[in-house]
Amino acid sequence: MLIFWIIAGWVGLALLPWYGVEDFLTFSWLAEGWPLDPDLAPAAVLVAKGEKLWLAPLLLALAAPLMVLGRAKSDPVHARILIAAGGFGFAWLVAQGLGIGLRGFTAPWLEALFGPLGERQFGMGYGALLTASAFLFLFTQGIAARGAVGGDVFVAGAIGGVIAVVAIFVFFPIARMLMAAFVSDEGRLSIGVFAAKVTDGRIWGLGCLSGGRCGAAWNSLGLAVLVGVLTTALGLAFALVLTRSGFRHKRSLRALTVLPIITPPFVIGLAIILLFGLSGAVTTGVADILGIRPTRWVYGLPGVLIAQVLAFTPIAFLVLIGVVEGVSPSMEEAAQTLRASRWQTFRTVSLPLMRPGLANAFLLGFIESMADFGNPLVLGGNFDVLSTEIFFAIVGAQYDQSRAAILAMVLLGFTLGAFYLQRFWLGRKSYTTVTGKGDAGVHPAMPKGLAVPVHVVVALWSAFTLVIYGMILYGSVVRLWGVDNSLTLKHYVTAFSLAWGEGGLRWTGSAWDSFWTTMLIASAAAPLTAAIGLITAYLLTRQDFAGKKSFEFGTMLSFAIPGTVIGVAYIMAFNVPPIEITGTGLILVISFIFRNMPVGVRAGIASMSQLDRSLDESSLTLGANSWQTFRAVILPLLRPAILAALVYSFVRAMTAISAVIFLVSARYDMATSYIIGRVENNDYGLAIAYSTALIFVMLAAVGLLQLLVGRTRIGRRTSFGQGH
C-alpha cells in the first residue's frame, strides 16, 4: 500500500491537471495543449516553469516517503517520515488552497505579510485530489506504524478518510454558513446582533398558549417528537406483521411500505389537499353528510403531521425490519420453555433486544421531521417551522443570511439533544443476538393481545396509503385537475414522448433530460453513500479510538441541517477556490452522499449492535486482517442495513427538493426541480404524471437492489410459510 500511494501522489503532481478541468473524464484536455496551457498543466510542470511557486513544497513532501521504501515498518524512522511528510503535505495543500484565491491572497493579513500576489489560482482539480489523498493515507500509515488502533492500516486509513471528507464536505460549508450568524447588516462581526436575533420572539414565542401563535422552534420540536413516536410505532407494526405473523401477502405489504419514501413530498401534500382540503373529496363529503361547514383544518399541524408520518414511516421500517429479524429466536424459545407466555416473551425478551432499532428509528424520524421542507411549505399554513423559516430568510425578500444561520443553529441544538437522549436511553447494555453459533429457531407469533391492534393499524394505514396513491395516479390522467376531470394521457406524452428521425430514436419529451440526469446522479451517489455509511458504522461499533464521540457527531451533523441550508452552504463554500464545483454534477453527488450518509450509519449501527465481536476476533485469529474481516464476515450479515442505505440514498437523490433548488444548473437539471417548475406554472397534470413515472421507476430500482443485495441467511428454520 505504501508504494501505491507514493505512485498515486506523483501521478497527481506530475501527470494530471492540478486545477479543475471541465469534462475531465472525457480526456478532451489531453488535446488542448497539455502541458503547455497553465490552466491544464500538472503542478510539477507549473513549478518547473516558474509559475505557482507556492506548490513547490508539495514536491519535497512527496519525495520524502521515498526514503523509507527499504526500511522495515518496525523502524521508528519509517513512521516519523510518513507522519511528517503526509501531515505537512496535506496541511500545506489545505493552507495554500484557502490562502490564495481568484484575486491573490484571500486575507488582508497575508497580503500585508507577503506583499501583493499578482497570480491567481482556480479551484483544485483531479491532480490535487489524488495528491491530497496520497498525503492523507501516507499520514495514516505512519500513524498505524506508531501503533495507533492496534497498528491496523485499514482502520487508520478508514478513520482518516472519513474525518477528511466529513470535514471538507460537512464542517467546512456549514462553518462558512454559520459564520453569517454573527455578521451585522454592515458586514461586521457582532455578538450583539447574534444575541438579539437568537432571542427573537418569532423563534421562541409561546403565544399559542393564549390563543396566538407559537415560535417556530417550539412548533418544530413538538412536531418532530410526534413524528418520531408515530413513525417508530408504525414502522415496528409493519416489521412485526412481516416477521411475526402468518400474513400471506408480505411482498405486497413490503412494497407498499416503500411507496411514500419514493414520492416527492409536495406530491403527497397535493394529494392530501385533494382529500382533506377546503374543497377536498373527504372534507366536502363529511360536511354534506353531517351538515357542517367545511374548514381548513388540514393546513397547519394536522396536515403536516399526516404528510410527514406518511413520508417517514418507511425510514423507520427499513431500520427496524433488520433489527426485528435479527433477534435470536433461541432466546424467545428459551423464555417460552420456562413457561413464559407469548406476551411476557415479547415484552421481556424481544422488545428489549429491539431497543437499538427503536432508538435509531425515532432519531431518524425526529431529524427528518426537523429538516423537512416540502411538506410544511405545502401544508404549513400559519404553522411556522424552522426549515421553512430558514428558506424564506434566504430566498425571501428579507435575504437575511444571519437569521437563517441562527435558525439553523437552533435546529441543530434540538437534533443533538435528541441524539444524546437516544444514547442515554440505550445506555451501555449489550443487545448482541447473532454470535456465530448455529441458530435454527423460529420466531414466535405475536401474542393475540398485540396481534389484533397491530394488524388493524397496519390495515388502516395501508388503506390510507393506497387512497393517497390512487389520488396521485388519478391526477396524472385527468386533463385539468379539479376543473376538467376527463381522462387523458397527454401529460405522459408531453413528458416522455419518443420519435424516430434520421439519426434514429430521439428523446423528444420535455422531461427526458432531467430524468436521465437524475438517474445518473442517483446511481452514482447511492453506492458511495452506502459504502461510507457502513464503513463509518463499522468504525463506531467495532473500534475504539480517541475522539470517537466527536467522530460520531460529525457523521450525523449533515443530517441535522435542513437541505435548504446545505444547498446555500455549498454554494457559499464551493463557488470559489479552493474547491469550485458549483454548476457541476459532482456537487449534486457530493451533497446527496453527505446528506444521506447518516441513514447508512444508523442502520449499520443498529444491525452491528447485534453481531458479537467474537465473529471479528475469530476471523482475526485465523489470520485475516481487518479489511478481509469486514468484507467477508461483517458485510454478508449486514444485508438489511446495506439495502436500507442503498434504497434510501437512491430514492432521496431521486426525490430531493430543498438542496437541489440551489445546486441545479442548466446542464444538470434534476427531476424535482423540473417538477417544481411545472407546479409554479400551474401545470399540475404534467408534474403529477412525471412524479408517477418516477414512482414506478424507483419501485423497479428498489426491486433490483433487493435482488442484487440479497437477504441475510442465518440458518434458521422457516415459519408462517416463509423463510426468515
pLDDT in tens, 585-625: 899 999 999 888 887 887 788 778 777 778 878 888 888 88
Contacts of 164 (CB under 8 A, 6+ apart): 136
pLDDT in tens, 541-580: 888 888 888 888 788 777 667 677 788 788 888 988 889 9
Peptide bond into 640 cis (omega under 30): no
d(CA 527, CA 550): 25
pLDDT in tens, 40-79: 788 998 888 888 888 999 999 999 999 888 777 777 888 9
Mean pLDDT to the nearest integer, 465-480: 85
pLDDT at 26: 58
pLDDT at 437: 46
Per-residue pLDDT band for 93 (boundaries 50, 70, 90) equals very high
Q: Identify the DSSP state of 187.
A: S
3-class state of residue 86 by DSSP: helix
* Cα Rg of the chain, angstroms: 28
One-letter amino acid at 293 equals R
CATH code, 490-709: 1.10.3720.10
Res 159 pLDDT > 80: yes
Phi and psi based region of residue 200 (left: phi greater than 0; alpha: psi -120 to 50; beta: remaining):
beta
d(CA 401, CA 181): 7
pLDDT at 34: 54
Looking at the domain 216-385+441-487, which fold is it?
MetI-like fold (1.10.3720)
pLDDT in tens, 436-462: 444 455 666 777 778 889 989 999 999
Nearest to 6 by CA among 97, 81, 75: 81
pLDDT in tens, 163-201: 999 999 999 998 887 787 787 766 677 788 788 878 888
This prediction has a pTM of 0.78
pLDDT in tens, 664-677: 888 888 988 888 78
Domain with CATH 1.10.3720.10 in the chain: 216-385+441-487, 490-709
Res 724 pLDDT > 50: no
Per-residue pLDDT band for 432 (boundaries 50, 70, 90) equals very low
Mean pLDDT to the nearest integer, 99-119: 80
Contacts of 101 (CB under 8 A, 6+ apart): 120, 121, 576, 577
3-class state of residue 273 by DSSP: helix
Cell numbers standing for residue 593: 452522499
One-letter amino acid at 574 equals F
Report in angstroms the alpha-carbon separations of 312 from 227, 260, 315, 365.
8, 8, 5, 6
Cell numbers standing for residue 304: 403536516
Sign of CA dihedral 475, 480, 485, 491: negative
End-to-end Cα distance, the chain: 41
107, 99 contact by CB (below 8 A): yes
Instruction: Give strand pairing partners of 480.
Output: 484
Residue 273: phi and psi, rounded to 5, are: -65, -40
d(CA 78, CA 69): 9
Nearest to 261 by CA among 309, 226, 300, 321: 309
Task: Give me the torsion for CA of 406, 410, 411, 417, rounded to 10°.
Answer: 150
Nearest to 556 by CA among 611, 599, 494, 522: 599
d(CA 215, CA 379): 17
pLDDT at 397: 61
Report in angstroms the alpha-carbon separations of 357 from 22, 326, 363, 634.
44, 10, 10, 18
pLDDT at 457: 92
